[in-house]
């Protein structure tokens, strides 16, 4: 996953765009995958928050968006292995 600068408006727009591309159904799949992998409660809870805010990244902080995008990347890479 690329390194994002949380102070750079361009990076923030890219992160929000990536977040907004995921639907609530896709977030549900990631939640189920995280539960089956045994991820921590905090990680599953933040994925559920992301599901509720699907398509409206403007209501989440840049740190939260970065966190959930990193979780998605981690879950995707685990699936490929």
Q: Which residues contact 57 (CB under 8 A, 6 or more apart)?
A: 15, 16, 17, 19, 20, 65
Distance between terminal CA atoms of the chain?
16
Q: Determine contact, residues 60/50, Cβ cutoff 8 Å.
A: yes
Q: What is the DSSP letter of 59?
A: G
- Any idea which residue has 């949380």 for tokens? 6
pLDDT digits (tens, 9 = 90+) for 6-54: 999 999 999 999 999 999 999 999 999 999 999 999 999 999 999 999 9
C-alpha separations of 46 from 68, 69, 81 in Å = 7, 11, 24
Containing structural domain, residue 35: 9-80
pTM summary value: 0.89
Structural domain count, the chain: 1
Q: Is residue 4 part of a domain?
A: no
Q: Is residue 41 part of a domain?
A: yes
């Amino acid at each position: 996953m690329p390194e994002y600068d949380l102070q750079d408006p361009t990076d923030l727009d890219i992160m929000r765009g990536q977040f907004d591309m995921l639907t609530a159904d896709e977030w549900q799949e990631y939640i189920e995958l995280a539960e089956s992998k045994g991820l921590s409660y905090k990680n599953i809870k933040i994925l559920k928050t992301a599901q509720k805010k699907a398509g409206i990244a403007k209501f989440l902080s840049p740190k939260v968006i970065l966190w959930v995008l990193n979780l998605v990347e981690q879950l995707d890479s685990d699936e490929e292995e």
